[in-house]
Structure 1
Amino acid sequence: MAQEVLVYILLGIFGGMLSLFLCVYAILKIKYAPGGKYYILATFMSAIFTFAYALELTSTSIEEIKFWLRMEYIGLPFIPVFILFMCMEYVGFKQPRWLPYVMYTIPIITITMHFTNEFHHLYYKSMMLRSDTPFPIILLEGGPFFYIHSIYLYICIILSILILLIQLRKLTLRFRLQILMMVAGLIIPIVGSVFYLTGLSPYGVDLGPVSMSISFLFHGAALISFQMFNVAPIARDKVFESLKEGVVVLNQSNIIVDYNQAILQVTPFLNAKAIGKSIIEVLHHDQKLKDLILSEEEVDFTSSKDDKVTYYHISFSPVLSKTNEQIGQIITFVDVTARVQMQEQLQKLASIDGLTQVYNRTFFVKEVEQTVADYQKVGGNVSFIMFDIDHFKSINDTYGHEAGDIVITYVAQIAKECLRETDIIGRYGGEEFIICLPNTHLPHSNQIAEAIRMKIENSYIVINKKEIHVTSSFGVTSKIVEWNGDVHLISELMRQADEALYEAKKNGRNCVECFSSRAAM
């Protein structure tokens, strides 16, 4: 074998092996990605074409060369079509169903014409060995269909390149590098074949299949380094950037495929460098958000930025292949701040007594239940104060119900001013109020009740230019909350406070009575 041809054979074998490697890699990694199946077919056909041409270069007779030439044409006619379909699907172009049937027609005819050329010579007018080369090289004179096939091939490749280049102006830098790598991989074999067709290639060697070894280096770089297909644009300019909701797209391995600008309001950790990385790696600074995403449960998420609290609802939508296999998921962050604020407002309206602006009885019990439940885990002391306005009926009878409402509101406001932030006050009913004092012992509870009583006694309210003085009676109780203690503790404390209040009224009103001291008598 002549030394001059060895380098071309080795390049052909290298290109075929690289094509085969990328084909297997694509089957394992990206077969369901947009354009993935056509990439697999293109690399497989390229492997057949390149290996066959390498074996053609090892041939010593024209019959051997003709045999391997036929093998080359099993793959060659379909490569440009698969590449075109790959690029169309890659950028999100939805091809009509009839298009493949039309596009495959010329490749099928090409293969038929090539295999039957000896009967009609419409593909090659003549086939003979060159006499001016140190190794056997076939000299081919193209017939009419050879040029039809060549023009068709170039049209498919040029359209593929144009489809990719059109996307450049719409994409970020990372996508542009990805597209340019793919375009470079498409251009190199064309340059090689042009050299061959114009007679400029050394020894008449067809540089098209040989140059595929270089071409697939670019494809390999785009596929592995730039995560080609895993980071496909998928018409992102039409979908992502028009959405007000924040969107992140992950593949089946939780690798970030894409995101839109709205998601940056949720987390600033996303940027162009995050594409192709695991969502776990990117969100390692935000453990809460990372855990929510990995749980894949639709939940509400609170984000604080610049002292502004925003509420989001996280939802997950699977990305399915044509065979209904999940190949990824879309995570959407919908701003529900207005909804949450409305719910909080409605909850407040449902929990607050409209007249006094303290908790109503139902919500008071609910809040106290939560407080007591917390204390039952660690232990603590809880006190209750129940009080009402003395001789309230006479106020209504003397000054009217409107004045009575003003007095109730006035007394509630005085009580609130004497309480801590952790204390809970509610309107028990009518002119009667109840207070829960967490982590408070009986002596301190008694002092608070006495402070409220004295402030009410020593103040007055003017209604219709008349001073109205009122007093209140108080019942106080307290109990240590034990771990996993009595489930009826709240109702017991409320009953004890009510009994102590009854005792205060019995003892002349405008006083404070403690349940424990009364019970000891």
Structure 2
Amino acid sequence: MLLQELLIYILIIIIAGLLSVFLCGYAILKLKGAPGARYYMLVTFTSAIFTFAYAFELSSKTIEQIIFWLRIEYLALPFIPLFLLLMSLDYTGQKLKPWLSYILFIIPFITIFLHSTNDLHHFYYTSMELRADSPFPIIKLEGGPWYFVHSIFVFLCIMVSVIILLIQLNQQVLLRFRLQILTMVAGLLVPIIASYFYMNNISPYGIDLGPVSMSVSFLFHGAALLSFQMFNVSPIARDTVFASMKEGVIVLNHQDVIVDYNNSMKLILPMLNHFYIGKTITNVLKENQELANIIYLGKENDYEICIKEKKINYHIRFSPILTKNNQQLGKIISFVDITDQVYLQKKLKLLASMDGLTQVYNRTYFMRKTEKLLESLISTEGNVSIIMFDIDHFKKVNDTLGHDAGDHVLKYVVKVAKKCLRVTDIMGRFGGEEFIICLPNTSLYDAFELANTIRLNIAEKHMLINKKEICVTSSFGISHAMMNSGVHHQSIQTLIRQADEALYAAKRKGRNCVQQYTQVIQNIT
């Protein structure tokens, strides 16, 4: 009966060894490159050596045979806790410095050396003898100083592994990833419990439950590996590929329930937290109707928000999550930061709309902008005034002082004019030395006063160019119209033509003056 009981223990241990071999082979074939996989291969391989050697130890008849197999066990056993630690570190994306790894490997190598030479110094075991209370040959070992050093090393490796995994557990959102980590933690704790029974002489007949516990431990790891895809879809893979993405990403199921989100998404929706997992996106966006509508329509769109008093532009994309049968399970919504692109587009648009020399609108953009302005004035029944002016005898400046001097005069005139304008006024370079100003909701009288102020300010300053003091004057023409939707209203082209006619009237009058289009009409009639 006792022999049958021993055979059952040996069979369990052999099964544990076979399981380790299977998991090692599976890892080699299926898990290359996955986080933690290489150390998983090593730990299953070394545990298989240890387990099979212990099965031979239990079947041995003499103490010499037991000691032989014990030494075989210790070729693998010292590395198992270290590989578990390295597996946990690699699994959670952490790396030890090379010098620290070398130091950690020193302890297992010392253990192997001291164990194999124990007969010379008894530094690892102080005594090795068969137990008198066992019905079959079981060795009784009394630990020496290094035995306890190694035991502490084993305990620390496993406990640090557990702590690393629990820290990672706290950072996970999905239950699926939490189950992966909890399964791994459970697998790590089983050998500690078994060691407690063995070291306190609670195990039956003094049999080391370590190999048996490893069979249970690797069943947990096997469950994580096969059922939860421990390395194929690991939490660290999620963190490095998903959680740390610069783009904001939120995952919804087919009922628009929040399944997951990454850290960048919390910048866009600061109210997001773990409590929203399992709730619909509409609960999060109750106070953000614009974004709620974009997500409801499910079409790519641009979205602008203000984060810390800074405008951020996002391009929202939708990617369906499909089964192998093309059945939609949900969707991934990504928020791509396009702030730099939007800024560049605005800058390019501004450059395309501006006159490079004077930094006022060019003729094309001025026309486009004033046409839109006139349309808005029609709806509000406002009025508008147009001022056209040019620099008197500008050709003479270019011919006598050069084009650089001419450019200096152009920039000076624009600078003087812009100082007199309101934010709502629009100024453009119409061509050469000719400029135009659109004044929304400005009476003819006010437009005249403004034009005259600009004229006086231009004429009063003497510029020093090429050591020569010059003074320029300018001539102005003004047109005005009421923008009433009920009656025929004038177009911007008509108003410009009228202002141009008034400008030429000012030149005929002797230049350096302001002329209104109404005065031109009166003079004609």
Instruction: Note whether the superposition's TM-score is higher than 0.5.
Output: yes
Contact 2:248/2:263, CA 8 A, preserved across alignment = yes
Bigger mean CA offset, 430-439 vs 239-248: 239-248
The gaps in structure 2 that reach 5 residues or longer are 1-30, 32-90, 92-161, 187-233
In structure 2, what is the equivalent of residue 286 of structure 1?
A: 288
2:306 corresponds to 1:304? yes
State the alpha-carbon separation in 2 of the partners of residues 484 and 177 from structure 1: 68
**CA distance, structure 2, for counterparts of residue 486 and residue 270 of structure 1:** 56
- Residues in 1 aligned to 2:242 and 2:170: alpha-carbon distance in whole angstroms: 12
- 2:349 corresponds to: 347
Partner of 1:222: none
Shift of 1:279: 1.3
RMSD of the TM alignment (CA)?
A: 3.0
SS in 2 for 1:240: helix
CA distance in 1, matches of 2:490, 2:453: 29
Secondary structure of 1:322's match? coil
1:453-485 deviations in Å (ceiling 9; x for gaps): 111111121101211101100011111122387
Find the aligned partners of 2:468 and 2:356 in 1 and give their Cα distance. Answer: 25
Alignment of 1:275-424 (within 5 A): 275-424=277-426
| CA distance in 2: counterparts of 1:256 and 1:327, whole angstroms | 12
Tell me, yes or no, if structure 1 residue 454 matches structure 2 residue 456.
Answer: yes
Q: Which amino acid aligns with 1:355?
A: L
Letter of the structure 2 residue corresponding to residue 370 of structure 1: K
Aligned: 1:427 with 2:434: no
Match of 1:132 in 2: none
Distance 1:437 1:324, change over 3 A: same
Q: 1:437 Cα deviation (Å)?
A: 0.7
In the superposition, relative to structure 1, how do residues 416 and 326 fare at CA in structure 2: closer, same or farther (>3 Å)? same
Shift of 1:516: 2.2
What CA distance in whole angstroms lies between the structure 1 residues aligned with 2:361 and 2:375? 19
CA contact (8 A) 1:380 1:439 kept: yes
Where 2:243 maps in the other structure, the secondary structure is coil
Whole-angstrom distance in 1 between the partners of 2:325 and 2:456: 78
Change (3 A) 1:475 1:174: same
Superposition pairs for residues 211-230 of structure 1, below 5 Å? none
Residues 351 and 248 (structure 1 numbering): CA distance in 2 closer, same or farther, change over 3 Å?
same
SS at 1:312's partner residue?
strand
Q: Residue 398 of structure 2: SS of its match in structure 1?
A: helix
What residue number does 2:474 align with?
A: 472
Note the C-alpha offset of 1:174. 5.3
**Shift in Å at residue 520 of structure 1?**
3.5
2:174 matched residue in structure 1: 175
The answer (yes or no) to whether the contact 1:269–1:283 under 8 Å persists in 2 is no
| Alignment partners' CA distance in 1, 2:455 and 2:250 | 59
Matches within 5 A, 1:97-116: none
CA distance in 1, matches of 2:317, 2:505: 57
- Cα pair 2:313 2:339 within 8 Å, conserved: yes
Q: How many residues align?
A: 314
Q: Is the 8 A contact 1:377 1:484 kept in 2?
A: no
1:136 paired residue number: none
Q: Gapped runs of 5+ residues in structure 1?
A: 1-92, 94-162, 188-231
Distance 1:370 1:178 in 2: 56
Secondary structure class of the residue paired with 2:368 = helix
Cα offset, 1:504, TM superposition: 0.9
What is the correspondence of 1:18-417 to structure 2 with a 5 Å cutoff? 169-170=168-169, 172=171, 175-176=174-175, 236-417=238-419
Q: Can you list the C-alpha shifts for 1:212-260, whole angstroms capped at 9, x where unaligned?
A: xxxxxxxxxxxxxxxxxxxx98963353113211111112222111110
What is the CA–CA distance in structure 2 between the aligned matches of 1:181 and 1:393, rounded to whole Å? Answer: 83
Task: Measure the CA separation in 1 of the matches of 2:476 and 2:362.
Answer: 19
Question: In 1, are the aligned partners of 2:483 and 2:489 still within 8 Å (CA)?
Answer: no
Q: 1:331 to 1:177 in 2, by over 3 A?
A: closer
TM-score (norm 1): 0.56
**d(CA) in 1 for partners of 2:479, 2:506:** 13
CA contact (8 A) 1:388 1:473 kept: yes
Offset from partner CA, 1:487-506 (integer Å, 9 cap, x none):
86111111111111111111
SS at match of 2:296: helix
Question: Contact 2:169–2:178 at 8 Å: present in 1 too?
Answer: no
Distance across 2 between alignment mates of 1:269 and 1:373: 42
Tell me what 2:61 maps to: none
Paired with 1:486 and 1:300, the residues of 2 have a C-alpha distance of: 39
Matching residue of 1:491: 493
Distance 1:247 1:356 in 2: 45
Partner residue of 2:445 out of 443, 446, 451: 443
Q: Could you say if the C-alpha distance between residues 490 and 413 of structure 1 is closer, same or farther in structure 2, counting changes exceeding 3 Å?
A: same
**Using a 3 Å threshold, how does the CA distance of structure 1 residues 402 and 256 change in structure 2: closer, same or farther?**
same
* Residues 375, 483 of structure 1: 8 Å contact kept: no
Counterpart residue type for residue 297 of structure 1: K
The amino acid across from 2:241 in the alignment is V
Normalized against structure 2, the TM-score is what? 0.55
> Contact 2:172 / 2:235 at 8 angstroms: preserved in 1?
no
Q: Distance in 1 between matches of 2:370 and 2:331?
A: 43
Q: CA deviation at 1:183?
A: 8.7
Deviations 1:138-168 (A, max 9, x none): xxxxxxxxxxxxxxxxxxxxxxxxx9x9997
Letter paired with 1:175? L
Indicate how the Cα distance of structure 1 residues 327 and 466 shifts in structure 2: closer, same or farther if over 3 A, else same.
same
Secondary structure at 1:476 match in 2 = strand
Q: In 2, are the aligned partners of 1:450 and 1:512 still within 8 Å (CA)?
A: yes
CA–CA separation in structure 1 for the residues paired with 2:329 and 2:519: 71
1:261 match: secondary structure: coil
Deviations 1:45-64 (A, max 9, x none): xxxxxxxxxxxxxxxxxxxx
Distance in 1 separating the partners of 2:413 and 2:181: 78
Q: Deviations over 1:400-454 (max 9, x none)?
A: 1111111011101111111011111000000000001111121111111111011
Deviation, 1:486, is 6.1
- How many Å separate the matches in 2 of 1:484 and 1:251? 55
